[in-house]
Structure 1
Amino acid sequence: MLSRVANSIYWLTRYVERAENIARFIDVNLNLLLDSPAGTTQQWEPLVITTGDLPLFKERYGEATAENVIQFLTFDRKYSNSILSCLQLARENARSIREIISSEMWEQVNAFYLMVKEADPDQSLSALHEFFTQVKMASHLFAGVMDATMTHNEGWNFGQMGRLLERADKITRILDVKYFILLPSAKDVGTTLDEIQWIALLRSASAYEMYRKCQHRITPTGVVEFLILDRDFPRSIRFCLLRSERALHKITGTPGGTWRDPGERALGRLRSELDYLTIDEIIQKGLHEFLNDLQIQLNGVGNQIFKTFFALEPIH
């Protein structure tokens, strides 16, 4: 497969997944607004902090109000990681490989982009909650259409790997939002408000019902363990890494448990670390510190995959 084609499929799925996860990101706070007791103020700056783009936001928007943060993360064409920008890039990648992907995939990513492009940025917060639900469903529909209409070959596996690595990264950031929201109000730990926040976080990751099936009580350690270490829940970080590694080995033909290139080594090493990690070790290290380290390692995996498969070496 041409590296150009592989790169486009990989980024097509990453951008669609990124758009969905930014919607989940904002949904953390919208769910909290809808569920919290009257008079509870919500913080919006943590959402921007966890993107790493707070200086850019401050320069362009100033105060981190609900309206400003939602505009920046959702509709801002000049911000490369807004939902609208991600879908525009996904559409461009899809257009460049229309002969490789199915017509249904093209139609869905095009419809998804147009839905967001034509949305009203000034709608009410409750209407925005519905809008972000539609964004998530449109992403699910794209993933389902891809699985049902594209041959599960090398290209499909590049797409799987892109989607799952993006998801793992954004789940770390969704968990980090909770950390930053909690910082100014440690007195709320263990209170009803604290539990409401953890429930909102689970709902934002579409994890609430699945969590309750294996845990009866909402506890911080239980939620963190489920979203990081669960082997079977498709939005847990461990699940994403397991399936990403499987897709990578399908592409290379390297037997599981071994590696031949730096991408396989970086991904296999990170996946095996999570296999033997306990929730107590994560808490002992500090959740924020652990998540920050995990994001750095996930970036490292992405860089190694780029160098191995997509970077074009000049011919001498």
Structure 2
Amino acid sequence: MAIIDILAIAGLGAGITLAVYFARDIEDQHKFRILGVLLLLITVLLLLALLSYHEDEPRLNLVGPFGHIEARAFRYLFGYFSYLFIGLIGFCCYRYLVKGDSYLKPVYFILSITLPILGLSGLFLPGDLTGEISVNLSRLLSGLLGRVGTFILLSGIGTILFMLFFEVKIRLEPPETKAERKKKKKKPIATPTPPPARDFKGSFKDSFLKILADPPKDETFEVDEDAARIIVERLKEFDVTGKIVGVVSGPVITRYEFEPDPGIKLSRITSLAGDLALALKAVRIRIVAPIPGKSAVGIEVPNRNRRVVYLKKSLLEKDEFRKGVLNVPLGE
């Protein structure tokens, strides 16, 4: 009967392995998530099977005949420590799915608890309580190392696995020599000295601005009104009606603010970016849907002639910059 029980557990493990193998085309992250959920489901079924186990009444088991066989196998191999083993598996599945632990950490955690308990309990408790694995492991180790050696070995292995689970790091530093200790004592404590204050009184800002070049006086920039008309007409061809309510011109691009009529979805406008670029003969355009704080859609079109941004006139001579203390000019 014990062979049947062992084969039942082996078949359960083989089924899980095959499920993962046939899911090899799935991404690794999803594959291990599926495995974690599957193990958690099996843990719940095994717990129900153990709680409702009756040795002579397989029909009373909540998981049916299969649950009866699995519960009997766990009782035979692990004894009453089956509840501890299944509880640890459930806890590790929770850590793996919710906390995102590595798949090796549950193995370290389970072995760090079950291995010392199974190895030592067989020395002091009867076999029907501890299971065949505990009895045989204790008998093997005590025959080679004795009880004291078995206790030391299993405790050490459990401690190592426990440290691997919690990622405990032991940092060993060489002791300081006498010369290093004397050097520390003699080392003076440096007091930081504040940097000397600089006084920029006078016309420093004005002198600096005189160095920079002035923009040409005849430079003008006109808004392309044909572009606004083309945008409205092109959108109308696709049953997207509305009007241009504002134009914001910059040195590189011009933003046309298009207010659609009621009932027009924004997704219809954004999907027409390529058609608008073709109609405007632009390389590409950008649609801001909607403009923050406005009931309009921004259509940014590159200017045919880019305007030069002069540092002096466009930025440094503005009141916002002159009245500031630590302003940095970035662009217009």
Structure exhibiting the larger radius of gyration computed from Cα positions: 2
Give the TM-score band, short-chain normalised: under 0.3
Q: Whose helix fraction is larger, Structure 1's or Structure 2's? A: 1
Which of the pair has the greater relative contact order for Cα pairs under 8 Å at 6+ separation?
Answer: 1
Higher strand share: 2
TM-score for both structures, normalised by structure 2: 0.24
Normalization by structure 1: what TM-score? Answer: 0.25
